[in-house]
Structure 1
Amino acid sequence: MKQPDQILTLSAGPSQLISAICDEIGFEKTINEQLDWDKDRCHLSPGARIKALVINILCGKEPLYHIHHFFKEQDVEMLFGSHVKAGDLNEYSIGRALDALYKATPWKVYSTLSVSTCRKLGFSLSTLHNDTTSYSLYGDYKKTNDATEETTKDLEITYGYSKQHRPDLKQIVLGMSVTPERIPVLANVENGNTNDKGWNLAFIQKLREILSKEEWDQLIYQADLALITTDNLREMRGNLHFISRLPETFKISHALKEKAWKNGEWREHGQLKPQKKAASYKIQSFIEELDEHPYRFVVVYSDKLNEQKGQTFQRNLRKEQTLLEKAIEKFETTTYHCEADAQEAWEAFQKAHSSHYFHYSCAIQPEQQAEKRTTRGRPKKGETPTMITVYPPRLHNLKENEEAIEEKKRKLSTFILITDKLDRDELSDVDVLQTYKGQEAAETRFLLLKDPRLIDGFFLKKPSRIEALRIVIVMALLIYGILEHRVRKNRKQEEKPLVLAGNSKLFRPTGQVLLKELQEIKVIYIQQNGKVLRYLPDNIGEQAKRILELAGYDLSIYVSKKKEKVAN
């Protein structure tokens, strides 16, 4: 019997599932249609190369200059076609794909892919959560004078407000818009010194370009309090529905809190989440004018906010009390020979140590005191000291201003939301709160983009490639989000948790857990007589099989080129 020409054990892991999801949403086709490339001369399309980079990001995390080593352990023919070899996926071909993506404007390419995906898979675009984060970079990035290089036309790597707490490093800023299901819809890389207040308006214009008129009219744009400036409100007026948090810098914020606590007409809502330690809320709402235009303001009381900020306030209160007691003790050691001087010193002390949270008073009473001797030596026997009148300040009754403290605690436990949606029947006050709290959808995705367990360091010299790569990472996040959402949704219908190593039970598994659980999948690759046979070992875990089924596929995607999605 003739021996096989080649027998390999390939570490497929989740790569075939990622490839199947890419094929399902038309990943390669959508990208290729937007990029400029020579179909006759290119051995591998830029869409396929970007797909390879997405697979590496989610599975291998190899640096770009080692990416071909990662694909040596993959079934490249199943992923990209029989004409492709691992050596084709090297740092140079990936770099050229990033250059092509940059020339086509990365955010436009991505938004075309993401919006078509959302429409195809049924993700609603009626509410989008928007935020920015910064990414610190190491190295010296200078502008180039090369006329053929478009590296710094749009992107400036420079110093700015660092959300990674590294002001010593240059950075870039990534703005992103996600659905409530945590699917990124729009992403754009900005200059490192981009300000959130100005960023919002530019980002809104990009959203307007990618959404249909019907989607735009139904859209609720949710962002943090950097959105709310007088200029931004005027720009959005009549053009965009929004929900955000009202900054404390607006005078109306103090007035609304006072009004809410004075009338006390709170509506108990309870928890937004079923967790035991989740915050409980009470709400009131008012329609008031800001900049001569009506808005709905939802005043929200949170018991967790009260607890958290209350503890910080108490610590600061004790510090203030200690400092005040020391100042009083020092002040009382001084005596004055003139009542007017004592009174003047007392007034100066009050001015220097005024406190909104503590009351104290002062008594200046004349006292008789022996005058200090001016001659040297011991006093003579029978010498009577000269008595003088002095005016020592005596501070007393240091106590807390309970009313002011309680007022401060009330204000710390409340925050105010603002929206242009005035009709409570169309959007209730609770809906406004729930939409605002959905901001964590963007925040959790930013945390994921910075998690070295998923996305490790990359080494690039060109700012253009840095910009393009950041958008490719968001593309990986798109596939990640689809996988995570689909598995969670289908698992919920079965009401049976995933049981992983250590008998841990997961009802809402993260994408990271799912990808890790699929890493065990291997493929036996046999080449004989010009034919290729693929087999799966019998020891693939049941949970890995179940994850594939919950994602809408099965193990056949690893051995058959037909990657049709099975019933969801």
Structure 2
Amino acid sequence: MPPLDTESLTITEVRHLPIVKAYAQKIGLVETIDRMVGSQMELSPGMAVFGMVLDTLSGRTPLYRLTEFFEEKDTELLLGTAIEPERFCDTNLGRSMDQIFETGTQKVFSQIAQNALTVFAVDPRRLHFDTTSVSVFGDYHLVDPPFEITYGYSKDKRPDLKQFLVSMLCVDRNIPILGTTTDGNASDKTLNNELLTNISAYMARHGLEPGAYVYVADSAFVTEDNLKKADRRQTWFLTRLPATYKECGRIIREAVAADDWIDIGRLAEERDRPNRSVARYRAYDGTVELYGKTYRAIVVHSSAHDKRRHKRIDRMLKQDRKQLEKDCKKIADTVYYCQADAQVALDKLIRQSASSYHRLQAGVEKIPKYGRGRPAAGKPRKVLRYEYRVTATVVEAPQKVQPLREEAGCFVLLTNLLDQQGDWSAPELLSLYKSQIGIEKNFSFLKDPAIVNSIFLKKAQRIEVLGLVLLISLLIWRLMERSMRQYVETNDCELPGWVRRKTRKPTSFMMTTKFSSIMVVSIGNHRQLAKPLKAVQLEYLKALGVTTDTFTAP
């Protein structure tokens, strides 16, 4: 046996990064960016972005340490070509980010997203839109920035920090296809309006004409201008009607009074827990009138009542009872010498309590008054006169309080799908709106301290490009998750989850933990795994549609 060439032997930790590389190749990440962004630099813009994506999905280190990140990596295996780590210096990254900005971050991401939708056959007919704020440290006195980093309403609850906003449009629940950065004090209502202006042309690129998709947004969408613009552009929408509209309260009261609910049951797949029951839903299909036009309104009642609302009701009932008991005590302390006068006072008290959420158990008590001294033996006491007092006990009125509590568990979905009950039933619309949580989880990903450290770049333009890098990372992250869940659904099986339990909802993070110990041994141009892949790892690779060669073949 020839002696082992230890000088050419290296052992590299690769973990799950070759899987990320495989998905980046599927969507043509590097080729697309290099084709759109012309460059003669030694590090192409596509490779610069790919390097930052790998860094981001490995746990994230600051950009100025990207060189250090690749010093311990097999760049030929992960990037497809051997690149010296020094090429990922901050100067090259900065220049690449500037060139990408000049090309247009939205233009670049739109093309990459279109690649992903085509390759993975993603259904783009269900659109979800939302915004979030990203807090930053520093003064950021920038000259002519593309967006303003300033103070605004902080969704991070950090009003002491400047911020910028990130808006995102997702399809198929949580696959991002559009993302933008904008001023830190921009209004969600304005951003919805701007998107409605361009959405028809944008969706046409994906082969969808107006009427072929449904736009899902939060309650900030509901303004007169947005509603009219959606109608003019023939854009179907689904949103939540704010409680500040009188029609919201009216349709909820109508639903509770009619008691003609459509039973939906539960939407979540998990089971009831001892201390937490899974929410069950029922719906009432009606209409509301806003700004002179009729819209479809679906009142949804949830068994998981909003605790804050019920606490508010409890406080209101307590105050209502306290005031009524005060009125009762005032009348009870009054002595009446005529039964008719006492009855008049009682009737007045009952009328005052008519609007209360309590009722009175009340009456007039006749009290005899006797003369002084003891009566003669065997004779009754002599009654001098009679006095009358009003007695009243306050009890809760269930017939009034129960509807109030029912109303507290309701919210209203608003849509212009007025005559499409056959195609879009109330359960389907509720399920579509509840899937809005996917975009909320995307924001959690973008704000995860393990993904995004404190942002401090010299140019707002580069922050916008960094946003592009994070969106591409998120896109790949969600595509991996989607592939695994489609595999589970298609094959009616489960994958190994946490603590040796099977799961039907594998996540990308869950997958990364299964590959945390993958090491590759290299001897010259030959690569092999330090240890054979385990059964659980092979099972995940099958679900991801990735071959084992991904870990050894550049």
Matches within 5 A, 1:127-276: 127-144=126-143, 152=145, 154-212=146-204, 214-217=207-210, 218-239=212-233, 240-276=235-271
Once the 2 structures are TM-superposed, how far is the Cα of residue 477 of structure 1 from its aligned partner?
Answer: 0.3
Distance 1:357-1:48 versus aligned 2 partners, 3 A rule: same
Given that 1:72 and 1:86 are in contact with CA atoms closer than 8 Å, whether structure 2 keeps it comes out as yes
Whether the 8 Å CA contact 2:221–2:239 is kept in 1: the answer is yes
Q: Give distance in 2, aligned partners of 1:140 and 1:354.
A: 59
Distance in 1 of aligned mates of 2:529 and 2:460 = 43
Provide the rounded CA distance (Å) in 2 between the counterparts of 1:314 and 1:249.
17
Give the equivalent residue in structure 2 for 1:342: none
Q: How many positions carry a matched residue from both structures?
A: 519
Across the aligned residues of Structure 1 and Structure 2, the Cα RMSD in angstroms comes to 3.8
User: Equivalences for 1:331-346 in 2 at 5 Å?
Assistant: none
Q: Give the distance between the partners of 1:106 and 1:427, measured in 2 at CA.
A: 35
Equivalent in the alignment of 1:285: 285
Counterpart of 1:550, as a letter, is: A
Pick one of 460, 467, 472 that aligns with 1:470: 467
SS in 2 for 1:545: helix
Secondary structure in 1 aligned to 2:42? coil
After TM superposition, the structure 1 = structure 2 runs for residues 399-478 of structure 1, keeping only pairs within 5 Å, are 399-400=395-396, 402-421=398-417, 422-478=419-475
State whether residues 136 and 456 of structure 2, in contact with CA within 8 Å, keep that contact through their aligned partners in structure 1. no
Q: What is the deviation of 1:490? A: 1.2
> Which blocks of at least 5 consecutive residues in structure 1 are unaligned?
145-149, 336-352, 364-392, 562-568
Q: Whole-Å Cα distance in 2 between the matches of residues 29 and 458 of structure 1?
A: 28
CA contact (8 A) 1:59 1:515 kept: no
Q: CA deviation at 1:76?
A: 0.4
- Cα pair 1:6 1:526 within 8 Å, conserved: yes
In structure 1, distance between residues paired with 2:8 and 2:322: 80
Partner-residue secondary structure (3-state), 2:167: strand
Q: Partners in 2 of 1:32 and 1:518 — Cα distance?
A: 30
* 2:284 partner letter: Q
Distance (Å, rounded) in 2 between the aligned partners of 1:90 and 1:13: 24
User: In structure 2, what is the equivalent of residue 61 of structure 1?
Assistant: 60
TM-score (normalizing by structure 1): 0.81
Any idea what SS the aligned residue of 1:29 has?
A: helix
Partner residue of 1:535?
528
Amino acid at match of 2:222: I
Whole-Å separation in 1 of the counterparts to 2:325 and 2:108: 64
Over the matched positions of the two proteins, sequence identity in percent amounts to: 27
List alignment gaps of at least 5 residues for structure 2: 272-276, 335-352, 364-388
Alpha-carbon displacement from aligned partner over 1:92-126 (angstroms, at most 9, x marks no partner): 22222222222222122212211231123110111
Question: Is contact 1:286–1:296 with CA below 8 Å preserved after alignment?
Answer: yes
Q: Assess if the C-alpha contact under 8 Å between 1:178 and 1:185 holds in 2.
A: yes
Moved more, 545-554 or 128-137: 545-554
CA distance in 1, matches of 2:405, 2:184: 37
Superposed CA deviations along residues 360-408 of structure 1, whole A, max 9, x for unmatched, are: 8999xxxxxxxxxxxxxxxxxxxxxxxxxxxxx9996444454443332
Q: CA deviation at 1:268?
A: 1.4
CA distance in 1, matches of 2:355, 2:452: 50
**Could you tell me which amino acid in structure 1 is paired with residue 14 of structure 2?**
A
User: Bigger shift: 490-499 or 91-100?
Assistant: 490-499
Cα displacement (A) at 1:540: 3.6
Contact 1:58 1:455 in 2 (8 A): no
> How far apart are the structure 1 equivalents of 2:472 and 2:393?
65
The equivalent of 1:480 in structure 2 is 477
8 A contact 1:300–1:414 mirrored in 2: yes
| Counterpart Cα distance in 1 of 2:100 and 2:463 | 11
Q: Is the 8 A contact 2:325 2:394 kept in 1?
A: no
Partner amino acid, structure 2, of 1:20: A
What SS does the aligned partner of 1:92 have?
helix
Q: Following superposition of structure 1 onto structure 2, how do residues 500-539 of structure 1 map, counting pairs within 5 Å?
A: 502-527=499-524, 532-539=525-532
